[in-house]
Chains A and B, each alone.
Chain A
Amino acid sequence: MRHLADVPRWCDDVPDFAGPARSARRSLLKAAVLGRREEPGYPPAAMGEDGAAAPSVLMYTVTGTILDISPHVLVLWTELGEQRFLLASSAAAWRGGKVAPAALRQGDHAIVRRQHPSVPVIDRIWAQAGRATGTIIEREGPATLLVDEGPGNGRKIVMIASEAAGRIQVRFPRLEPGYLIDVIGLKHDGFLHALIPATSQPPYRAGHPPAPPLASRHVPDPVNGTAVWHEPGEEPADLLGLAYPALDPEETCERGGPARPECAGDGHEIDPHATGPGCVRLPYLSMGSMLRLRNDCAQRSRTVPVTSCGATARLFCDRCVTCGTSSKGRIADLTMAAFVELGGALEDGCFTATMTIGG
Chain B
Amino acid sequence: MLPPNVPPPVDAQENAGILALFADGPGEEYVASMSGAQGLRPGRGGGMGLQPTLGAISAMDDGINAAAQSRWADESRVVKDWNPDDLPERSGYTGGLLADASGAVDKMGQPLDGRSNYNAFRKFGEIVGGIPQQPLSTTLGQLADWATYTAPDAQQRAAEITGRYAPDPSFSVLDRALASPLGGAAYGFANLSGASPATQELLLGLVSAADGLLMSAAAVKGAAPSFLGAQRPGVMDVESPYALTSNNYLSGIARSDKLDMGIRFENVQGSLNSYSLYEGRTATQVYMRAFDANGNLLSGSVRMDMVGQRIGGTYDLIDYKLSPNSPLTQNQSMHYPAFELNGGLVTGLRGADIGLQRGRILPPTPVQIQTGPLPTIRK
Q: Does A pair with B?
A: no
Residues of chain B at the chain A interface (Cβ within 8 Å): none
Which A residues are closer than 8 A to B by beta carbons?
none
